[in-house]
Amino acid sequence: MLYETLDQQIKNYADWVLRRQRGIPNNRRLFVVACMDERLPVEEALGIDKGDAHIFRNAGGLVTDDVIRSAMLTTNFFGTEEIIIVNHTECGMMSAKTETLVQAMKDKVGNLEQVALDPSLPELTLTDPNAFGRWIKMFDDVDAISEAQVKFLRNHPFIPAHVSIHSYVYEVETGRLRKPHERLAEHVNDARTMIEHAYLA
């Protein structure tokens, strides 16, 4: 009967709107950490839809204090059981040296140790003169940094031990995901090798 269909639609809509109040996790029980880069189509790359995941994007797709805060909430209180980290090739976080950015910001604002990192927590500052550079988190190896993010989350006491954590690298040049250090292009034969293999077959 029509009323049954309509009632189900109304219930589904209410569940969607009130899912936090009702304790309904996202569809995949998934938390994604990804770079904010506009060339990285997170949902398309992972094959997920609206409602499937909590998605956190920042510069580099790196584990920061706010990623820890969000991951702690979603895994402990919102039913999430899996974390996926997506880094990518040609990332802007590999485009400059840390020292260059630190000096540029010193030129703009002066004493970096006095700047509050969170406007609502003015006491949260970087008192160590070298901490600002580490806080920016520039890197030069996307595969190594991708693996490191898994370790940061896996070893954090706020993340339950049962949560599955993995990382991938999105290749901007191919539009595909791969595991860290597994570049297929390095294993593809060139024309000469293909001919040699043909004779050996």
User: Where is the binding site for Zn(2+), in residues?
Assistant: 35, 37, 88, 91
Place of tokens 């009702």: 22
Detail the residues annotated as belonging to a binding site.
35, 37, 88, 91
Say if CB 86 and CB 32 are below 8 A apart. Answer: yes
Q: Which amino acid is at 27?
A: N
**In sequence order, which residues have a C-beta less than 8 Å from that of residue 72 and are 6 or more positions away?**
158, 159
Among residues 76, 62, 69, the alpha carbon closest in space to that of 163 is found at 76
Strand partners, 121: 118
Task: Let me know if 3 is exposed, middle or buried by CB neighbors in 10 A (0-12, 13-18, 19+).
Answer: exposed
Q: How far apart are CA 139 and CA 63, in angstroms?
A: 13
